[in-house]
Structure 1
């Protein structure tokens, strides 16, 4: 069964909108775990517009499932991850002005940089994943960096599927197969939802984990958080 890691950035965004500590991020994360999610994902950015660096330290001692920290590996982020020692770190090439992640790594152009960062995390026993577009050459480049896994950037699939184009999943299936052949684990995330996840999970082989935040938290406004998570877990069986 593909594991579900819930990205709680949007809960932090809601909290930050009014200041204070409502909703409480730690309480929300513990509830999400109790509802059956197998992981918690956070994506701190330098401006701390949603997840704050302090949140990472608050979450680490109380989580009982896998903790996944995403972000661009600037020195501040690297230091944070080494201090928190999560189960997994996912490297994302965030542009400073990006509202959300909007591209995967060029694993060929940035191979040496990625190799250096990944070696540091792996030395400290942290599983590494690289955010990549569904392009075979980028999968091959990722394999040369020493990463443990890739995370397939799924926006183009979600857009195509919403338009009725089921062939939009083919590059993902092919890249997942290649990644597995090269010894890489396969994660996926971005714009996956209750509407498209079952098809994606069925069509893409070797899928270890999906990280879902925006859609899940949005759907929970209508269905409730516990029911929403249970619906996602059903789709991943």
Structure 2
């Protein structure tokens, strides 16, 4: 017959091994507090600036007469051109993050490419022709300078690859905005690790401990029934010790 352990027995085990639990929690919380302090001291504020561009393959094409059969292809709002613009946007949006574009921007600003910060380009889900380009930098001025230069560098790279001048700025570069610092959950994570680790060590110590501690251990290990117990008379034993002295 399999032995079952109820919740009370688990709590008794944790209570009996509370020294392990306390030590593990102190160590984990101490390390978590130190890591939180290091994160706080090493935090550097960053700023975000964004620009929105539109892919328009007909921006420099003059419209022809209405009776011309190619008028539909020159109309920026025709189904053909909308589909073409969306395909270009979805295929080449990541080009705005490429090293070639970074080098072009760095060259125009006369800085190194590493000083540009992080560049992210995302195609809008609602308007697939629009691409949001965001620059994250430690310097608010540099973030805005970089994001202003990216559309022209992006357009230059598209011309080199596809021969199409199609990048239009829809919304100008926004003012740099401070990125709010996220909540540091290091202490909570450390506490969780401490709880799991302490339970594991307590159960491991309990499994390795073969000493007989309670009367129930006799039945648990040897399947012997308990007949009776002899109580310990602490007051009488203390009195005998005093008389011996």
Q: Same fold judged by TM-score > 0.5?
A: no
* Larger helix share, 1 or 2: 2
